Each structure stands twice: as structure tokens, then as C-alpha cells.
Chain A
Amino acid sequence: MEYAAFLATYSALPACLTKQGDRLLLGIYGQTGLIFTSVGTCPADGGLAREGCEGVLELVVADGAGNLPYARHQMALTLGWHIIFACFGIAFPAIVVFTEWLGHRKDDAALTGLAHTWAKAMGVLFAAGAVSGTLLSFEMGILWPGLMDRFGAVFGFPFVLEGFAFFVEAIFVGVYLFGWNRLSPRAHMLSSLPMVVAGIAGAFFVVSANAWMNNPTGFRLDAEGDVVDAKPWAAMFGPSTWPQFTHMWLAAFMVTGFLIASVYGVGMLRGRRDRHHRMGLLIPLTVAAIMTPVQIGVGDWIANTVADNQPAKLAAMEGQYKTTAGADLSLGGLYVDDELRYSLEIPHGLSLLIHHDPDGVVPGLQEVPADQRPPVNVVHIAYNAMVAIGTALLGLAAWFGLVWWRRRRLPRTAWFLRAVAVSGAAAVAAMEAGWVTTEVGRQPWIVYGLMRTKEAVSPAGGLAWGLAAVIVVYSLLSFFTVVVLRRMALGRDTLAPQEEEVPR
């Protein structure tokens, strides 16, 4: 809490103030109000509320700024955790159902068996995503009430649609797993379609809300800065929505594909080369390898969207202070004293990428007041990490694609399997780095150009303890999640949460 030093003497105090320390809360935001700090003179026979009674009031201004680091770290941790499982929620159903369909079409028990194993893993991963998503829906209000209070009418709506999408997905994940031996193959695969569609739809809605924070549209502000004339449908389709969603959708398939492939890559390195393992590597790796080059193209699209709408974010991504015509593309390096050092420069690269013109002008951070610049190094390094890992994964995809195209088999060297084995963790790191880029790159704004993150944060006391508790809970959750997934990966036939146990 910070107190603005404002003391004033009032006569005729409100009736609710009767003794020192009483509060009269006013305003909408938090604890803003008046504290009655001392009594002056009063007529002998009456309450304070009478004319001629004097007292001193202190104006208290609530400010959540002290809570900002705690709230941001809590949000970063919980979102960063959830997004990994959300990827599986988006992409895994499609991969599993495709494998099941392939198995039925080829009458191949190895493939249907693989699909069944994956379906069980999907059930566990979906549960982890669902419970972590529940905490997030609380946190939107608990940590960022200012955002909800002022803009909930505009951008709460996609979350409602996401709620429905998630509902449908939860129902049909239950149907898919529980119906494995209760529905004919055709009915089973048909009943899986809502799960596949709902997973992708849910991703669209959530990403559209984030895109709105980057490029707020679909409302007008009145003279006081209050939202009037909210158009929730229009707000969902701002300029960032499609590029951001496409980027995330592809990322989800890359993360899911590379991660599953990496599990089987490790198994093959340990000498298990049966058909189950070969197919378990081949199918998800093919999916991921197809998505990777597309993703790099979409990356260019999204960078252009950022350049058009959030020049400060782009300048931070590139670590560029001076507005430059014919700007170089910088790789790596550190941003010190408004200058990027130790980086590798590709002449005119940035102008080419952004404007498709070697002499295009790229605005730098100098255009933005100092208090409106994001922390450059975090954004620049995260962005470079994402691009570097993405490029490395493209290399892996190309290697796999070439060998497959020429010889219809996997590359035989152990180095290929080693590369596949680390590709899953690498894809996750790239995706997290991408989210760090966009979220930290938007700072200090929570709603770009309209509301600062520190204005949105809750002024409630004790958020530091909340963060500590979240760290403890998520450490335990991570540990047990890894234990269970490891058991599944080691090939012990386990049950999904939606399946029933056969008495042993």
C-alpha cells in the first residue's frame, strides 16, 4: 500500500466517521478512501456530522503496484505450465484419432493398439490441463481485477465460448475413452470428431482474447475512459487474432508431435525397435515435420502484424534503439545502455523481413517514452531462442523428410534418434519462449496502449503468500505428473482417468 500524502481539514464530517481510524471508502478502485486521522474541535453536544465540527482526513490511494511482481510471476508460472498441456488438448485428439483410423483402415492391430495407448495418455494429460486451467480462470479475477472490471464486457466473451468448447471437449474425451469397448469403430471415431473440433475451437477463443490484449478493438471509450458500446463479437477478430491463432495451433502440433516422437526416440535408442516403437515415432514426427516449415512462414506473418500494430514490441524483439532505414537483422547479443552488443548482424535483413524492401524504415525504441518500453533483454533473448530452436527443428524435419522421400525409411544413424529425443523438450522451450516474447513484449501494458499492468493488479494483501503457495502446489503437481507420464512412457499398460479398473 502506498499512501498519498494528502491531509485536509474538513468541517461537517460524514456521520459514519465517529472515531479516529474510521474509514470512509470511496471510488471504485480498491481501498481508495478517506481515513479519519484526528478530531479537531466539535460542538459540545453533538455528533461529528454537524456543521462546525472539524477533523483531519487523510486520503488513501490504493495501489497494487507492490503486488505486481508476485502477480506476474504467479500468472507466468501457471500459464506456462498450463500451455504445455493445452497443446496436447489442441493437437493430441487429432493425432490419436488419425492413428486409430489408419489402424482400422489397414486392419493393423499395432496401430489401433498405439492409438489406445495414446488415448490413455491423452486422458491423463487432459486432466492435468483441465485442473491447471481451472486455477487460471480464478486468477484472471484474483490477480487482474482491474482488467476484468474495466474491460470484462469486451473481452470476457471469448472465454465464455472457450468454456463451452472445453465443456464439449471434456464430454467427448470421456466418451472417447469410455466408449473404446462400447461403441463400434465407426461410431467411436465419429464420436471423437467433436473432441477434435472443440480442442481447436477452444484454442482459437483463448488466443483471440490474448490477441485482443495486444490489439484492443470492438469498443469505444467515453471521456472518463470507461468502455461504452462494447462489441464482443468484433473484439474477437482484431488484427492479431488470425496470425496468433495460426501460430499457436501449429505450435501445438509441433510440441505434441515432437514430444511423443521423442518418447519413442528414447525407447529406440535403448534398443526397442519393434513396429510399435517405429510407428510411435513415425506418425507424430511426420505431423510435426509437416507443420515446422509452415510455422516458419507464419512466423513472418506474425512479425509483420507486430511491426504494424506494436512497434515497441518489435523493437524490443530486435533490440533496436534507433529508428533505422535499412535496418540489420540482429542475432543474439545483449542490450546494454540502449545499444545491442555482441550480436551477429545480417545487413538490411530486418527491413527486408518486415517491409520486403532492403531500405524500409523500422522504428526503434527511441520512438517510445522510456516508461513505455518493455524489458528489452528478456524479449530479445526469448525471441532469438524461439527462432533458433525453430530453425533447428526445421533442420531435423528436413533431414527426416529427405531420407523418407529418397529411401522410404527413417535415417539409420543414432544421431538422428538423439536429435528426435531432444526435439520434444526443444519444441516446448521454443513455445514458452514465444509466449514470453509476446507477453513481456507487451509490457508495461496489459491492454496495449490503454491500461498498464500495474493498474490491473489486485491491491489485496498477501499475494506474496499466494505466489509461494502456488509454487509449492505446482512443484508437487509437476513431480507427480512426470512420475505418472514416465510410467506410461515406459510401456506399462495403465488406465486413463475415464476408464474403469478391472479387478485384479
Chain B
Amino acid sequence: MTLAYAVLGAAFAGLIAYALFGGADFGGGIWDLLAGDTERGRAVRERVERSIGPVWEANHVWLIFVLVVLWTGFSGGFAAAVTTLYIPLTLAAFGIIARGAAFAYRKSVGTLQMRRFFGAAFALSSLLTPFFFGAVVGGVASGRVPPRIAGGDVVTSWANPTSLLGGTLAVLVCAYLAAVFLCGDARRDGEDELAEAFRRRALATAVVTGVVGLAGIAVLRADAPVLFDGLTGRGLPVVLLSVVAGLTALGLLLARRYIAARLTSALAVTAILVGWAVGQYPYLLLPSLTVEQAATGRSTLLALLVALCVGTVILVPSLLFLYTLFQRPPYPPEHFGRPTASARPAGPE
């Protein structure tokens, strides 16, 4: 375990966290998109809203964390990747802006028309952003990013079979995770009907994801041979673990054991990502730039590791505090003997 791998491992752990937490957030937006018209979709939309409201911002910081660790620890490789893939990355960033702003502003507007507009922006960007991120992963994984600044083709690096597969899988995985997470949330709050609806969605998405995954094997074999060899060779145990975890989650969903289904689903998604990492080992950018070559100097990596350790000690309890607080019901203001705010004078319309 060298310094370079320790730092890359930390960035990758951040990426997994982003996929699980941020991914579930995106998935919530996708279900919002598919919920139907205002009346029919109300229950689903309110559930999504309640589930991601307090945590959506924290969940998205993982992405920034991954970016800054990569650009400090692997500056050259980072510069090469983002300049070649700048189009999908910019579009993903626009998606994050549209999504975050729409979600934050939606509650602050009164008219139904405005709410619908923001709702649509939130939902649509929830679909597009993970697609573009998946396409970026596909571009890197299929070796279309040479280790030079803007060295690759700015279009075909992300408009190719592997990227299409990556994008589609990313969207499906987000939708699946969200459905599984929302099942548990809905049941916890006694919304059994809604829990059943999400369970159906989770099962359907799981099946579609499985089919696309199987078809993806052929795509990778033709389009990303190096990764394919890695996945079917060194990475095979991890890939199999993902399959087993996925099937177990499916069984748990059928048995309505949502907490366990959450954990196994998270494990399945983690294993997919780890499989990609193992498949690419030892390269940061296929087919020539290794992790060791790409890493910056020793003192930088050490400083990074120290910061990561200290940061983790601060972050983990903070996150746990947020998630536990989130499970609490609100109290009326009198509960703490608070002064109750007088009604505010309304401004002119």
C-alpha cells in the first residue's frame, strides 16, 4: 500500500459515498420526474422532498471532495481527464446547478406554475447529471483519455458505446438506490401504500439494471477490452460479489425487509465501482498512465493523508449527528419554553 494508492483510495471512497448518497438523491429526482401529473404524483413527490430535504446539500459535497483530492494528488491526470471530458463535465455541473437551485427555490415560490417549472428543472437535471457522470466514467474506463492536456477527442471521448453504457447504468443505479431507500423511509413513517409503490419500482429497476448490465458485458468486450480483461480476470471476484449482493437485495425486497435490502443494495453498487477500480489497476488513465506515475510528490501526498485523517475524524460524527437528528420529529415551539414569534406583518403583494 503506497502513499499514492492510499490517497487514491480515499478519493475513491469519496466517490463511492457520492454514488450512494448523491446517487440516491438523484434517483429521488428521477422518481419525481416519473411520478405523473400534479395530482397523481403528489404523494411520491412529497415523500422524495421529505427524504432528501435536510441532507441533499451534504450529500453533494462528496463530489467536490473527490475533485479536490484528485487535482491535488494526481494533478496531471486530473488535468488531462477534465480537459478532454470537459463537455459532459460542464453539462453535469449545469445539471447540479439547475437541480440544487430548483430544489432550494421551489419551496420559496407560491404559484403552482412556478413550482411546476422548478419541479421539472429539478427532476430533469436529476436524470441528466448522473448520465453525464456515467459517460465520463465510461470515457476513462475505455481508455479514451490520453495523459495529456486536452489530448483526447472532446466529443468521442464521451459519445461512445462504453460511455452510453456507463451513463445508462448510472441513471438506473441511482433510481434503484432511491427506490430502495424510499421504501424504508415510507414504511418508517407509516405510509405503507407508498412503500409498496416504491418496492414495485425498486424491483422493476433492479431487473432492468441487471439486463443492461448483462448486455454491457458485450459492449465492454468490444469497446473497452483492457477493462473487460481486468473485470473478467483480477476483478472477477468483486464482480461476482456485486451480482450476489444484487440478487440478495432483490430477495430481501421481495420479503419486504427494507433495512437489510438497503445495506445489500449499497454493497452491490460499491462492488460495481470497486470492480471498475480493480479492473483498471494499476492504471489511472488507460492504457499507459499508472497511478504511481500520476501521483504528485511525497510531501503533498503526506499532507493530503494527514488532512484526510483529521477531516474524517471531524466529518463522520457530524454526518451521523445530521442523520440521527433527521429521524426526530419536530416539537411545537412551546416544548422548549421558547418565545413564540409574533405573526409577521405581510408585505405588499
Contact = CB atoms under 8 A, between A and B. Distances in A.
Nearest to B107: A495
Contacts of B308: 160
Nearest to B341: A113
A299 interface: no
Interface of A: 25, 27-31, 62, 103-104, 107-110, 112-113, 116-117, 123-124, 126-128, 130-135, 137-138, 140-142, 145-146, 148-154, 156-157, 159-164, 166-168, 170-175, 177-179, 181-185, 191, 194, 227-233, 267, 270, 272, 274, 276, 458-462, 466, 469-470, 473, 477, 480-481, 483-484, 487-501, 503
Interface stretch (B255-263, B272-280, B313-321): B313-321
B100 interface: yes
Contacts of B72: 152-153, 156-157, 159-160, 232
Nearest to B320: A171
B34 interface: no
Given A179-B325, A487-B108, A458 B58 contact: no
Given A124-B104, A160-B69, A137 B64 contact: yes
Please indicate which of the listed interface residues B71, B296, B311, B326 has the most CB atoms of chain A within 10 Å of its own CB. B71
B55 to A, nearest CB: 6
Contacts of A466: 86-87, 90
27 contacts: A31-B150, A31-B151, A104-B339, A109-B341, A124-B104, A124-B108, A128-B104, A130-B60, A131-B100, A137-B64, A141-B82, A145-B79, A145-B80, A145-B83, A145-B149, A152-B75, A156-B71, A156-B73, A164-B65, A230-B299, A232-B72, A462-B154, A480-B118, A483-B105, A494-B107, A496-B107, A499-B54
Please indicate which of the listed interface residues A116, A135, A185, A489 has the most CB atoms of chain B within 10 Å of its own CB. A135
A109 B326 contact: no
Contacts of B311: 161, 164, 167
B60 A134 contact: yes
Interface residues of B, number: 90
Given A134-B64, A182-B330, A499-B107, A473 B94 contact: yes
B329 to A, nearest CB: 8
Interface stretch (B25-33, B45-53, B215-223): B45-53
A152 B71 contact: yes
B79 A148 contact: yes
A480 B296 contact: no
A174 B58 CA distance: 8
Please indicate which of the listed interface residues B97, B149, B333, B339 has the most CB atoms of chain A within 10 Å of its own CB. B149
A502 to B, nearest CB: 9
Contact of A228 (B56, B84, B297, B333): B297
Given A110-B342, A141-B82, A149-B75, 15 more contacts: A123-B104, A152-B76, A156-B73, A157-B300, A160-B307, A163-B69, A171-B322, A178-B322, A182-B329, A272-B345, A473-B98, A481-B105, A489-B347, A492-B346, A497-B103
Contact of B97 (A131, A156, A191): A131
Given A141-B78, A173-B57, A500 B49 contact: yes
B40 interface: no
Nearest to B81: A141
A491 B342 CA distance: 13
B79 A141 contact: yes
B190 interface: no
A165 to B, nearest CB: 9
Contact of A160 (B63, B100, B304, B333): B304
B79 A30 contact: no
Interface in B86-145: 86-87, 89-90, 93-94, 96-101, 103-105, 107-110, 118
A171 B321 CA distance: 9
Contacts of B333: 181
Contact of B314 (A140, A164, A230, A493): A164
B108 A127 contact: no
Contacts of B93: 134-135, 138
